Chains A and B, each alone.
Chain A
Amino acid sequence: MTQKGNSAKNPAGTGPPQASITRRAFLKRMGLLGGGIIVYGALGDVAALARAPREGYIGAGVPIDFNAFLRIGADSRVTCFVGKIEMGQGPITSFAQMAAEALDVSYESVDMVMGDTGRCPWDAGTWGSLSTRFYGIFVKEAAAEAKGVLKALAAERLLCPMSRLSTKNGIVFDRDRPMSRVSYGELTRGNIIERHLETLPPPKPTSEYTISGKPYLRRDAMDKVTGRAKFTADMRLPGMRYARILRPPAHGARRIRVDTSGAEQMKDVQVLREGDMVAVLHPDPDGAAAALERISADYDVPDTGINDETIFQHLLEHAPAPAVASEAGSLDSGESSSQSIIEETYLNSYVAHAPMEPHAALAAVEDGKAKIWASTQTPFGVQQQVAQALGLPAEKVRIIAPFVGGGFGGKSASAQAVEAALLARRAGSPVMVVWTREEEFFFDTFRPAAVVKIRSGLNGAGRISLWDYQVYFAGKRGCENFYDIPHHREAVYGEWRIAPGIHPFAVGPWRAPAANTNVFARDLHMNIMAAKAGIDPLAFRLHHLSDDRMRGVLEAAARQFGWTPAKTPSGRGYGISCGIDAETYVAAMAEVAVDRKSGGIEVKRVVCAQDMGEVVNPQGATLQMEGCITMGLGYALSEEVHFRNGRLLDVNFDTYAIPRFSSLPAIETVIVPNPSIGPKGGGEPAIVCMGGVLATAVYDATGAVVRQLPMTPERVKEALKQAG
């Protein structure tokens, strides 16, 4: 999307992931961009590659040349290009802050261009709370280097030694003679300048920050409150037609007959077949829907016997060999040093992403080129997929992700873009595909159902002596042990990624994949152990913690919450949970009331404390925490995908219950300052505690252990019955 950006002509696409852009190709591309002036200051590739801390970042194809990230116009406005997309998590604001800070220009003078494969540097995708943590560093480095080159240019222009120069508000000036000054725009005007910096300037100390670390309101707010913000389905092209695609009634269904004659007779309807795909096009969505209804088809739907209740047994039976995520000591020694053993199994149902914006794509394919607007978290991945589907080189395919109406991992997969591209080519006119809510549920890449088995032991001193943790199909993230436990082992049986033959439909990353399941199981189990040891659950955790960051967030949450020690169940309904996600430490406490008759849970209050390192935009970070807490109520209490034989029984918001205004608790957030360690993830961590904090709160309120999420009234009643 473009935010206050200049409209530039479409250059050739950036093509597939590449180690770096060659200088010639790069200059050519920048020339095509028009406007603005290039300051060329790249180091040799080898030296530059060593700069950015790319380990852990799936992004070997991120260009090293700062010009790929920034352009300084003759008017001194700065355009910042990032391959990330804006889906609500706020990078459109935080990247502008980071670029402005590092470059010493005003925040207002930075325009953002995001998620456009034709203009932005390659990026792996927007997920995993990586945007600020890793990509942000690239942007900061690019800006710092650009500033260094600008100073070198100014030194020549002002006939002044570099050491006397300072930068502020887009101006380089001589500290001894403040009238001797030149703007960035004047420096770059009219020339392409190649410069090499011997060494990258040292990063600006955070103590000198005036923009980063300050709360900024969203820069896209004005467009979003006036309806001017364009999402994919809001794009229009002349001659565009809406598509509806014939869908099977169930996953695994095989089509044995299709009759399109009814639709073919309708006015303005085009019936298309593209491979297996049968689709209708019409100038308006009602017409397309009516045409689809006139197509009849029969399917074979196999009886798999798998449904939302049998799935857990199925998963256990089909588990692959485990990968050990972390371990210490030996389980045998742990076993023999334990006085009591506690063994539990925890279950997690499939959960949908259900963003308010369904997947959408508008495709125009002509003259061997494709241009596609798509709601996606992975524009560069979609570029490859579309190129492959159309048999075009990737540089002939341009993907633009305008504002995205929520993703949460669900728009990492973007099959709708390929559908639109294929249909547009076949139809010879632009085609819009907007999934219905039913399609959105059907094709969602759900958070996988999962099983966690924990066998743990307590020694005579009330300390954990054994922790044998096995997680099936949720994945590794968040299961690693951070407590002081002498004998532990975390075994991971299968990841959250698609596992052929295991899940009845697609699964994929769901906001903080795996961590929600792992933290829920660990914290509920910790509280069962604390109860057995007769110790307050916060004290029990602190006894086993030497990690200062974890102690810090727990203590901060406890202070805000007003936690007072008591043994579980205290009847107060207090819950506690903590974890590490995206290198951020997070702790939550909650208060609930349980209606024993109905099994209903009322969440009264949630407190969340987070140590996320350096905070670029505290306002944005707080928003993300509140969003995580609110969204997390859903998977903890009400969200669950029901299915039978590949048929989905929840296809809209009537039965798939996401959090609403009426389910809202009081929410309090605390950011524990820790600026020295750089920015850590912020879009996901606070959601990982929600299952654990509410399950432990229900346990504290009633003594009932609800071992399956979501904690529906039926499950609560069942657990109450068992607790007696």
Chain B
Amino acid sequence: MTQTIQFTLNGSPVSIDVDEERTLLWVLRDDLSLTGAKFGCGEGLCGACTILLDGEAVPSCQLTAGYAAGKKITTIEGLEQDGRLHTVQKAFIKYDALQCGFCTPGMILRAVALLSANPEPSSDQILSAMDGNLCRCGAHVRIIQAVQTASEAMKGGRS
């Protein structure tokens, strides 16, 4: 049923009239023109569609639009602040932590969620936090380096 749904999207309030049963991923991509979250599997198995929901990394292919009501959503497009890249984004560039780049938005958001919950993760904690995000190009080694570096930079107050 079409409803008016309000939530905070990348720092700004939005209000859209949408069928609350629709998949949040498609609403973001089609109704809100944010195509950074990707469709990879549709079953919550790959992490390509990862977004931050109240700071937590979740697969938007598994959520309905109605679920977003009243929540804070961050997509990859909302990570830059005043034209400045997030530390994790910078680290991904610095370490070439991507190849085709299709998994990259999901990877970055997953790492951002990890580092805000646990600013100094061990290597094992990084591996297990990132494990649900798949990358077919095999950029894993670089992604881990990027996440570690971002963690150190954030700890040191640098960004």
Residues of A within 8 A of B (CB): 87-90, 217-218, 220-231, 233-234, 236, 283-286, 354-358, 403-406, 408, 434, 436-437, 619, 623, 626-631, 652-654, 658-662, 664, 667
| Minimal beta-carbon separation of B52 from chain A (angstroms) | 13
Q: Indicate whether B158 reaches chain A with its CB closer than 8 angstroms.
A: no
A661 touches B130 (CB 8 A): yes
The 5 closest A-B pairs by CB, nearest first: A227-B36, A630-B138, A405-B102, A88-B100, A224-B101
- Chain B nearest CB: distance from A82 CB in Å? 17
7 example contacts (A-B, Cβ-Cβ < 8 A) are as follows A221-B93, A225-B92, A227-B36, A355-B100, A627-B137, A627-B138, A630-B138
13 further A-B pairs in the complex, CB-CB below 8 A; given A437-B40, A662-B128? A218-B93, A221-B93, A226-B85, A285-B26, A356-B137, A406-B102, A406-B136, A630-B140, A631-B136, A654-B43, A659-B140, A661-B131, A661-B143
Across the two chains, which residue of chain B brings its CB closest to A285?
Answer: B26
- Report the minimum CB–CB distance from B108 to chain A (whole Å): 6
Complex Cα spacing A224 to B137, Å: 14
Q: How far is the CA of A436 from the CA of B26 in the complex (A)?
A: 14
Q: Indicate if the CB atoms of B141 and A224 lie closer than 8 Å.
A: no
Contact A217 B94 (CB under 8 A): yes
Are A284 and B103 interface neighbours, CB within 8 A? no
With CB as the reference atom, state the residue of chain A lying closest to B46: A653
Residue of A with least CB distance to B98: A224
Closest to B133 in A: A661
C-alpha spacing A703/B61, complex, angstroms: 46
- Partner of A652 from the list B22, B30, B31, B43 (CB cut-off 8 Å) is B43
Which chain B residues border A658 with CB–CB below 8 Å? 134, 136
Q: Mark B123-159, 1 if CB is under 8 A from A, else 0.
A: 0001110110111111111111000000000000000
With A221-B93, A406-B102 known to touch, is A627 a contact of B46 (CB < 8 Å)? no
Contact A224 B104 (CB under 8 A): yes
Within 8 A of A (CB), among B72-130: 75-77, 79-80, 85, 89, 92-94, 96, 98-105, 108, 126-128, 130
**CA distance in complex: A229, B105 (Å):** 10
Q: Which residue of B lies closest to A403 (CB)?
A: B101
A356-B23 in contact (CB<8A): no
Give Cα A437 to B48, complex, Å: 12
Whether the pair A626, B77 counts as a contact (CB closer than 8 A) is: no
Known: A652-B43, A652-B45. A661 touches B144 (CB 8 A): yes
A659 near B34 (CB under 8 angstroms)?
no
- Nearest opposing residue in chain A for B101, CB measure: A224
Given A403-B100, A627-B138, A661-B140, CB of A356 within 8 Å of CB of B46:
yes
- Highest count of chain A CB atoms <10 Å: which of B31, B35, B37, B142: B35
* Structural contact, B137 and A631, CB atoms closer than 8 A: yes
Contacts of A408 in B (CB 8 A): 136
Tell me how far the C-beta of B23 lies from the nearest C-beta in chain A, rounded to whole angstroms: 5
Question: Which residues of the other chain, B, contact A233 by a CB distance below 8 angstroms?
Answer: 35, 38-39
Could you say which residues of chain A place their CB within 8 Å of the CB of B96? 217-218, 221, 619, 623
Whether A225 lies near B85 (C-beta < 8 A) is yes
8 Å CB contact of A660 from B31, B38, B101, B131: B131
Residue among A90, A224, A226, A628 with most chain B CB within 10 A: A224
Which residue of B36, B76, B104, B141 contacts A664 across the interface (Cβ within 8 Å)? B141
A220 contacts across to B, CB distance below 8 A = 101
Whether B42 sits at the interface, judged by CB under 8 Å, is yes
| Residue contact A623 to B99, C-beta cutoff 8 Å | yes
Among B22, B75, B100, the residue within 8 A (CB) of A357 is B100
Does B14 make an interface contact (CB < 8 A)? Answer: no
Query: CB < 8 Å: which of B19, B39, B108 contacts A225?
Result: B108
Do A222 and B102 touch (CB < 8 A)? no
- Bound Cα distance A667, B103 (Å): 21
Residues of chain B within 8 A of A222, CB atoms compared: 93
Is B41 an interface residue, CB under 8 A from the partner?
yes
| B124 → chain A closest CB, angstroms | 9
- A336 to B: closest C-beta gap in Å: 47
Rounded to whole Å, the gap between the CB of B131 and the closest CB of chain A is 5
Q: How far is the CB of A693 from chain B (nearest CB, A)?
A: 15
Q: Determine whether the beta carbon of B40 is less than 8 Å from that of A662.
A: no
Let me know if A231 and B38 touch, CB within 8 A.
Answer: yes
Contact with A along B27-62 (1 / 0, CB 8 A): 001110111111111110110100000000000000
A220 and B23 alpha carbons, distance in the complex (Å): 30
Closest residue of chain A to B18 (Cβ to Cβ) is A284
Distance, CA A628 to CA B92, complexed state (A): 19
Specify the chain A residue showing the minimal Cβ separation from B77. Answer: A227
Chain B residues with CB under 8 Å of A285's CB are 23, 26, 30
A218 close to B98 (CB less than 8 A): yes
CB distance B89 to A628 under 8 Å?
A: no
Complex Cα spacing A500 to B137, Å: 31
Q: List the A residue with the shortest CB-CB distance to B75.
A: A227
Q: How far is the CA of A579 from the CA of B142 in the complex (A)?
A: 26
Measured between C-beta atoms, what is the minimum distance from A643 to chain B in Å? 19
Q: Which of B21, B85, B92, B100 contacts A404 (CB 8 A)?
A: B100
A626 B138 Cβ-Cβ under 8 A: yes
Q: Which residues of B contact A283 (CB under 8 A)?
A: 30
> Chain A contacts of B140 at CB under 8 A?
630, 659-661, 664
CB-nearest residue of chain A to B48? A356
Most buried by B among A225, A408, A629: A225
Q: Considering the chains assembled together, what is the distance between the CA atoms of A403 and B40 in angstroms?
A: 15
Residues of B within 8 A of A662 (CB): 127-128, 131
- How far does the Cβ of B126 sit from chain A's closest Cβ, in whole Å? 8
A660-B134 in contact given A227-B34, A227-B35, A286-B23 (Cβ < 8 Å): yes
